[in-house]
């Protein structure tokens, strides 16, 4: 269990234990609706908490294990600083894809990472955008602000284009270029599991579906606000 948002390991650690915390079930009831697409190489992952209630905003990604060719996802990810918070709290990007930081506040922020291998630190003025930072390999990066120390957020960099965050129904859907064996990974910085992730290896079939059920609760997401009644650095 992580006691502070910046005490995560910064690199993705090789998976060497198949966690027994997964429940794998065939889901014909919601598969047809979620996978209503002409692409038959469709797979859905549903994430539930320990009470079998769907979990939203859990990161799910698929890593190929049978030499499948992966396309490159070049869509830019934008991480905003708004109301003295990181929005979204969790961002996900494929390695080498562009990442942009955009300050939507009317004050300056001093953004930094708590990752030695993906170290960055820069001031970003009100209304400005910074796109200079590049991320070329998989990592989980905890972010903060040197001015507003309650601000925290995460950027997960993965080596696969097959990533998503679960919706309100706990679902993440993927349209695969090639079927075959994949490692299905669920990640969240507040998960009470080793390296904040759970995974399984699966031969993905046409219109496939799995359920992932957590066996422990989740830690609370840190409040994105000051404990003080005033912010004397707001005009920094």
Query: What is the enclosing helix (H) or strand (E) of 33?
Result: helix 28-34
Same domain, 184 and 208: yes
Range of the domain at 36: 28-70+164-213
Does residue 18 lie within any of the structural domains? no
Task: Measure Cα distances from 48 to 24, 143, 160, 220 in Å.
Answer: 12, 27, 23, 16
Does residue 3 lie within any of the structural domains? no
Does residue 56 lie within any of the structural domains? yes
Lowest mean pLDDT among 27-31, 102-106, 110-114, 228-232: 27-31
Lowest mean pLDDT among 67-71, 99-103, 108-112: 67-71
Does residue 124 lie within any of the structural domains? yes
Same domain, 38 and 142: no
Same domain, 38 and 102: no
- The contacts of residue 229 (CB under 8 Å, 6+ apart) are none
φ, ψ for residue 174, nearest 5 deg: -135, 140
Same domain, 176 and 60: yes
pLDDT of residue 39: 61
Domain holding 175: CATH number? 2.60.40.10
* SS3 label, residue 217: coil
First to last CA, the chain: 35
What total of structural domains would you count in the chain?
2
Q: 212 falls in which pLDDT band (50, 70, 90)?
A: very high
Same domain, 90 and 207: no
Q: 227 falls in which pLDDT band (50, 70, 90)?
A: low
Does residue 47 lie within any of the structural domains? yes
Same domain, 84 and 186: no
Query: What is the enclosing helix (H) or strand (E) of 79?
Result: strand 77-82
Does residue 231 lie within any of the structural domains? no
Of 119, 137, 158, the last residue of a domain is 158
Domain holding 108: CATH number? 2.60.40.420
Same domain, 87 and 148: yes
- CA–CA separation, 153 vs 82, rounded Å? 12
Same domain, 101 and 203: no
Scanning the structure block, which residue is given the tokens 């998503």?
164
Same domain, 103 and 149: yes
Same domain, 154 and 83: yes
Same domain, 85 and 122: yes
- CA–CA separation, 44 vs 35, rounded Å? 7
Does residue 96 lie within any of the structural domains? yes
Whether 190 and 216 have beta carbons less than 8 Å apart is answered as no
Structure tokens at 160: 């696969």
Average pLDDT, rounded, for the chain? 83
**Does residue 2 carry a pLDDT above 70?**
no
Asked whether the CA dihedral 192, 99, 122, 231 is positive or negative, the reply is: negative
- CA–CA separation, 185 vs 92, rounded Å? 13
Whether 111 and 121 have beta carbons less than 8 Å apart is answered as yes
What confidence tens digit (pLDDT) does each residue in 41-85 have? 899 999 999 999 999 999 999 999 999 999 998 889 999 999 999
Same domain, 153 and 81: yes
Does residue 227 lie within any of the structural domains? no
Of 137, 158, 179, the last residue of a domain is 158
pLDDT of residue 28: 30
């Amino acid at each position: 269990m992580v006691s502070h948002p910046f005490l995560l390991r910064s690199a993705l650690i090789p998976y060497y234990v198949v966690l027994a915390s997964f429940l794998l079930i065939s889901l014909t009831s919601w598969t047809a609706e979620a996978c209503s697409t002409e692409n038959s190489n469709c797979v859905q992952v549903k994430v539930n908490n320990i009470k079998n209630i769907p979990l939203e905003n859990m990161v799910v990604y698929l890593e190929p294990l049978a030499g499948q060719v992966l396309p490159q996802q070049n869509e830019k990810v934008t991480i905003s600083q708004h109301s003295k918070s990181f929005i979204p709290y969790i961002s996900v990007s494929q390695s080498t894809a562009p990442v942009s930081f955009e300050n939507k506040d009317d004050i300056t922020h001093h953004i930094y990472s708590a990752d030695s291998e993906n170290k960055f630190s820069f001031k970003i003025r009100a209304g400005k955008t910074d796109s200079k930072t590049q991320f070329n390999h998989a990592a989980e990066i905890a972010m903060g602000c040197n001015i507003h120390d309650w601000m925290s957020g995460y950027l997960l960099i993965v080596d696969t284009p097959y990533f998503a965050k679960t919706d309100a129904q706990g679902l993440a859907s993927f349209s695969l270029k090639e079927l075959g064996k994949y490692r299905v990974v669920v990640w969240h910085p507040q998960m009470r599991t080793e390296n904040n992730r759970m995974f399984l290896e699966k031969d993905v079939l046409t219109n496939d579906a799995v359920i992932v059920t957590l066996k422990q609760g989740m830690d609370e997401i840190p409040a994105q606000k000051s404990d003080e009644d005033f912010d004397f650095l707001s005009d920094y």
